[in-house]
Structure formats: structure tokens, C-alpha cells
Amino acid sequence: MVNGNPKVVSLLRGKAKPAEATVQLVEALRLQVVDALRERLNIMFEGADDLLFEFAERATNNQDRRLFFDTMRAVRLDRKNMTARFCDNYSQGFDATIAATASQPGDDGELRLQKNEAVELDIAVSNMATKADGLYKHTLWDIGGRIKTLVEDRHAPMSIEALVPLTICRAFRSAAETLNVGSDVELVVFKLFDRLVISELADLYLKVLNFLKQHGVQSAHPGYSPGYGPNARPGGALRAGGEGPAGETLRTQAPRGFADAPQFGQTATQVDFRAPAGLAASMMSSPALDPQSLASLQRLGATPADATAYSNASLAADLAAASQGLTIIGWTPRQSAAYVQRASLVGHMFNDILADPHLPNPLRVQFDGLRLSTMKVALKDIAFICDPDHPVRGLINELATMASTARTGGAEHQARIAELVSQIQQQFDIAAESLRKPPPEIELIDTDQAERFIEQQMAQTATRRQAIVAKVRRIIAGELHLRTSGTTISDEVRPLLNSLWAPMMAMHLLHHGPESAEWKHGFAELDQIVAMLDPARDDQRQEALRRELRAELETAFKAVGLVEARINEALNGFESALAKLRPDQPPADPLPDTAAAPVLHAATAADATENVTELLEQLVQPGAWFLVHDHDRNEGRWMKAVAYYAGLDCAAFAEFDGSNTLLLKTRMLLDDLLARRTVPVDLDPAARVALDRYLARAA
């Protein structure tokens, strides 16, 4: 320290200096993006009155009506300041130095005990960013590869996340703080931003992509080809931040301590997604099935077949025989080779899925049963291999991600996923008879195509691992927040919760599930920690109880592989904090106890329909899976949400490939939700809370 001032060290020291042309290119890009966002923001402000007035007209009570009019007044008064601050915030987020400072340990990675309002705003920002990631995933993937080239190869002075939707949404959240209004008004402003800015970014991203192409910036993504987009990505419910579809780093709001836990510090960017040397060439030049796929087909082929029909058993037996070099009646050598090529690549795909240790055993059996159904799709259509956005290929990867995280939801959730997998298989299954005689000039797969397929599936596997980590982090962070709300957590106690308890619970959830004794015992330990931190409960801090809890925690933390030195340091800090507590000490600005059970009043008709639009907008997210009751067929159907149309008072659902759309009026959908005839699958925590609250009020 010199003259009382801390020494300032550049975060970019030691990095190569960018060329002047690169600096100018980055500055031109920044100005273009800022100008485009400023223009969109002005359009938002111009259209805000009309949209807010529409919201007010649709409001079912005076409180909501006043809220929309309050928002209208606040936006009118502060639009100039908000625009200026938003542009400043986003420009700063573009800068590599500032972005690096923001990501230093102890900032975003640190779990903070926030008030409910701040958590709601965090969720709103995350939801907006997730929506944009899904809307523009192909363009963002291409842009991300080119920005990576600029930053890593040309040493461009910009953040690698400068253009991701989360950066834009965070800049707006900071700008919205100038309103100096309640969180309820801020949430309405976020809704305006979502509808009038985030939903209209397609032109901006296309302009950015064309700008980078015109200046010769190539993509850094492995195996990139202009004819191929990013991998088909599993449903966005699992994202928590700026996540690249080809396996780039996920960033989640979670305890910093997760980075210290085994298997939690890895990111997909540490993996080079390249097919093992020679694997694709050998698979395509001398096609053969891997042992797992061959055994699976031989089991199916051994099933007694109907002599009058060409069944799945007949096809499985023929594929198994062809892969062993035997001649199949009606198939030429070229046709046999093409079929075995495609079946071999699908088998490789399923072996990767089944190798996931987090896949529950009952679902593992089901996925092995999907193998032949998926092979039939590839035999019918080579696009399954060549197009990463093929609907069935995307569906299999999406189901695999849901299945790999199923254990975190308990036995009932696993049963729902199992039912979903079974029903969806019927939707895309192809009759074996249609594949009995391949076309004479069936297309063979070349080595490059096979390599791309293998690399894309490797990236998909990494994305699946990251999705598991992201989901577990969200669950643990939410539980920790709820169970410590109302308790003052000092800096001495945070390492115990964030760096030890949270990683331990994450591993319990991954390996044992939420119904396990390990999971429940971990919460019992947390409750004891919280009780000891209550200044009024001096009886909980008796020496014998403290020694017993310390020994218990040491054993539990060591059992999951946490570092002993860190365990001792965190427990010493906890005991130091306990020693400073006095029974007469009032809590310092305690947070409201959100963990307490809500008081439910008798529901009126108006109460039951209050905020229905907001509820359904949360539930009916594009791509979310539902068991939907089809009133015409009087049966449940597994379908994906298309959208909720508030103006038309209905929701749209479709089968996995977008076909057979089903429209349900709002009243009918709500009745089905209440009667449990329609059931959403794998809701995010915020949507689950909103639905449970609605069902309790309307019951």
C-alpha cells in the first residue's frame, strides 16, 4: 500500500496486447450493439403506456390495477435516467476488465441471504435470459464461437459474455434501480422489458453475426461447419445463466463452495470435443455394432416373431446378423453397410447416455429399450445423423437430460419421467415393415459426418452433466435461503454453509435423492446450526451440544471427501461466531421468515382467478413437458407447451415434433390443473411455488 491507497493491479497484466484493428473492431461492435439496444429501449418506453393500460384493464382487482398505473407513472418520470444508466451498465459489461472483476470469488458465486424481493428480481432476470437463450440459440451459438476467437486468439479487450442475454438483462436490472420503487413495480417493468426488448432481439443478433462474418472472425467451436448449427439442446428449465449450447460454461447463482466439492468445479470448456482419432473412420469403413448394441439387438431378435409379419424382432435379428457380416435376404452389401453404419452411431449415442452414473436404474432399462426405436428413425432418415436439430435426436437428448436429473425430484418425479419416456416412444416409433427393404441407392455416411455426430454427442453429454450440476445448485441454494431466512449469518459462518454444508447436500441429493436418510439428516444438522445462531436460545449453545455437533459435522463432511483443513477452519469460524452471541442481543436486520407456512384465507371466485395470466405465463413455457388431458379423446397425452396466449385466453400444446397441436381455453386448463388431470413435469422452483399457491387458494 502506498500513501494509504491500495495498490491497483491490472487484471489483464501479462496478456498479449491486441492489435489496433482488433481494438477498433471491438469498439465498432460495442457501439452498434449499444445503439441497437438504446433504440429497442426507446421503443419499449413508447409502447409502455398502451401495454400497461391493457394490463390494467385485464386486472381482476383494484390493487393490481393501481400497480400498473403506478408503473406507468414511474416509467414516464425516469425513462431518460434508465436509458442512460442501462447503456452505461451494458458498455461497462462489454469491457473485459470489469467483467473479470465482477466474477472474482466472493461476488456472484457467493450465496447471499437476500430478502424475498431481491430473490424475485433475480428469478425474473434469470427467466428473461433463459427465454432469450432458447429463442436465439442457433445465432447465439455461432456468435459465441466467433467472440471466443476474438477474445482468446486475438486478445480482444471485451468480455466473452458481452453479448449473452444474461449480460443485457443484468444491465437492465441495475438500470431499473433508478426507479426507486417497490419490487412489485420493478417486476412489471421487467415484464415490459421481456415483451418489448428481449423478445425482439433477433434482428440485433443477426446484425452482430453478419458484422463478425464481414470482418473475417471465424468460429472457435470444434467441428464447426456453416451448414450445421449447435447441438439440439435439452429444455431450458435447467439453465441458470449464460450457457452455450455446444457445452460452454454454465454460470449459476449458487454457493461458492460448490467449486471446492469433488466433481463440482469442472466446466465443459475444459473438454475438447473431438472424436477419438480414427474412431469414426473405422466405424464407417468397416461398420459393426458395439457389444452393448449387438447384445440388445440379439435379445430382441431372440423373441419369437410372427411369421406373417416383419416385426421389431425380425429387424433386430437382421441388423445383428448384418453387423456380423452375414447376408440378409433382400439387402445388397451397400444396403447392409448403410444400415449398420447408422445403427452403430445410434448405439454409440445410447452408450453415452447409459454411462451416466446419475441415471436411475429403472430409467436405464427404459432407455435401453429406446435404442431400437431410435435406430429405426436413423435407418429411415439420414438427417438423424447429419442434422443436430433433427426433432427425434433433440428429443432423445432432452429426455436423457430429464432422466439424469430425475433422482433429484424423488420417486414420484422418477415415475412421471418413466411414464413420459414410455409414451413418447410410441409417438416416434416406426413400423419395422417400412424398413424391411432399404432403398437401392441408400446413402452411406462418410467419416466427416460420423465425426461431427460423435463430437456433437460428446458436447451434449457435457451439457447434460452441467445441467445436473445447475439443477442441484438451484435446489440447494433455494433450500438454504429458505431455512436460514430470519437468521443473521455472519461472515464467520458463511464458509460453513456455503463451502461445506451446501456441497455435502449436493452430493447427497445426486447420489441418494431427496427421500434418503442422508438428505434428511443434513437438514437436521442445518436446523441445529440455525438454532445455535439464535441469540435468544442460549440453551442451544451449551458446551456439550457444541462439541457433539462439531464431531457430527466433521464426520459428515469428511465422508463426502471435503478437505480437512477447510473443515477445521470453517468450524472454528462458526464457534467463534457462537462465542460472540449474547441472549439479550437483538437480531441485526433479520430477513422475513419465508420458510413459515403461508396463511391461506378462504378462497373466493376472484381470489381463484387472481394473477392467472402471470401464473400460466410461468407454467406454459415453450418446450415444457405436460401430461395434458385431451377432452376430445378423454385421455392424457404427453405434450410440449407451445405458448400461452393471454389475448386469446388459451394455451397451445403439441407433440414433440410440433405436430397435432391442442388448444385449451384458460378456464378448462385451470380446472384440469386443479383436478390433477393435467400435470406439468420438471417445473422450475419459482413456477412450482406459484402453482402450489394457486392450487391451495382455489381448493
HEC-encoded secondary structure of 345-407:
HHHHHHHHHHCCCCCCHHHHHHHHHHHHHHHHHHHHCCHHHHCCCCHHHHHHHHHHHHHHCHH
Do 375 and 491 lie in one domain? The reply is: no
Residue 642's H or E segment, with its range, is strand 635-645
Most confident option among 94-108, 282-296, 316-330? 316-330
Do 67 and 161 lie in one domain? The reply is: yes
Is the Cβ–Cβ distance between 406 and 413 less than 8 Å? Answer: yes
SS3 content of the chain, % helix, strand, coil (to 5): 60, 5, 35
d(CA 137, CA 23): 27
Asked if the structure places residue 529 within a domain, the reply is yes
Handedness of CA 39, 45, 48, 50 (dihedral sign): negative
> Amino acid letter at 498?
N
Asked if the structure places residue 640 within a domain, the reply is yes
d(CA 240, CA 248): 13
d(CA 290, CA 344): 7
Do 50 and 119 lie in one domain? The reply is: yes
Q: Express each pLDDT in 589-639 by its tens digit.
A: 444 433 333 333 334 444 444 478 888 888 888 888 898 998 888 888 888
DSSP string over 258-295: GGGSTTSS--GGGS---PPTTHHHHHHHS----HHHHH
Do 136 and 193 lie in one domain? The reply is: yes
Asked if the structure places residue 266 within a domain, the reply is no
Do 561 and 627 lie in one domain? The reply is: no
Is the Cβ–Cβ distance between 426 and 327 less than 8 Å? Answer: no
Mean pLDDT value of segment 653-666 = 85
Asked if the structure places residue 109 within a domain, the reply is yes
What's the number of domains the chain is made of?
Answer: 4
Instruction: List the one residue out of 129, 620, 63 whose CA is nearest residue 628.
Output: 620
Name 630's bridge partners. 635
Do 118 and 214 lie in one domain? The reply is: yes
pLDDT band of 586, cuts 50, 70, 90:
low
Q: Is 233 exposed, middle or buried (0-12, 13-18, 19+ CB in 10 A)?
A: buried
Q: pLDDT value at position 60?
A: 64
Return left, alpha or beta for 306; rule: phi > 0 is left, psi -120 to 50 is alpha, else beta. Answer: beta
Cell numbers linked to 379? 435407418
Is the Cβ–Cβ distance between 469 and 264 less than 8 Å? Answer: yes
More confident residue, 501 or 193: 501
Do 528 and 609 lie in one domain? The reply is: no
Range of the domain at 628: 605-698
d(CA 683, CA 146): 33
Neighbours of 561 (CB within 10 A): 12
Do 446 and 330 lie in one domain? The reply is: yes
Mean pLDDT value of segment 334-340 = 91
Residue 625 phi/psi, 5° resolution? Answer: -90, 140
Do 85 and 204 lie in one domain? The reply is: yes
Cell numbers linked to 141? 451459438
For the chain, the straight-line distance linking the first and the last C-alpha, in angstroms and rounded, comes to 64
Do 349 and 205 lie in one domain? The reply is: no
Mention every residue, 6+ apart, whose C-beta is less than 8 A from residue 4: none
Last residue of a domain, one of 164, 199, 219: 219
Mean pLDDT value of segment 148-172 = 88
Asked if the structure places residue 12 within a domain, the reply is no
d(CA 570, CA 565): 9
Mention every residue, 6+ apart, whose C-beta is less than 8 A from residue 395: 424, 428, 656, 657
Asked if the structure places residue 470 within a domain, the reply is no
Long-range pairs of 408-415 with CB within 8 A, sequence gap ≥ 24: 408/468, 408/471, 408/472, 408/475, 408/509, 408/510, 408/513, 408/514, 409/514, 409/682, 410/513, 410/514, 410/515, 411/513, 411/515, 413/681, 413/682, 414/360, 414/362, 414/363
Last residue of a domain, one of 166, 193, 219: 219
pTM (whole model) above 0.95: no
Mean pLDDT for the chain? Answer: 77
| Three-point CA angle 135, 394, 429, nearest 5° | 135
Is the Cβ–Cβ distance between 111 and 254 less than 8 Å? Answer: yes
pLDDT band of 115, cuts 50, 70, 90:
very low
Residue 379 has pLDDT above 90, yes or no: yes
Residue 243 has pLDDT above 70, yes or no: no
Asked if the structure places residue 274 within a domain, the reply is no
Alpha carbon distances (Å) from 72 to 65, 194, 276: 11, 16, 58
Q: Tell me which of 282-296, 502-516, 582-596, 647-661 is least confident.
A: 582-596
Do 438 and 324 lie in one domain? The reply is: yes
Instruction: List the one residue out of 262, 266, 263, 255 whose CA is nearest residue 563.
Output: 262
Neighbours of 84 (CB within 10 A): 13
Handedness of CA 96, 99, 100, 101 (dihedral sign): positive
Q: Is 1 exposed, middle or buried (0-12, 13-18, 19+ CB in 10 A)?
A: exposed
Q: pLDDT value at position 686?
A: 67
> Amino acid letter at 154?
R
Do 361 and 494 lie in one domain? The reply is: no
pLDDT band of 526, cuts 50, 70, 90:
very high
Residue 177 has pLDDT above 90, yes or no: no
Asked if the structure places residue 231 within a domain, the reply is no
Q: pLDDT value at position 346?
A: 93
Is the Cβ–Cβ distance between 604 and 661 less than 8 Å? Answer: no
Q: pLDDT value at position 282?
A: 67
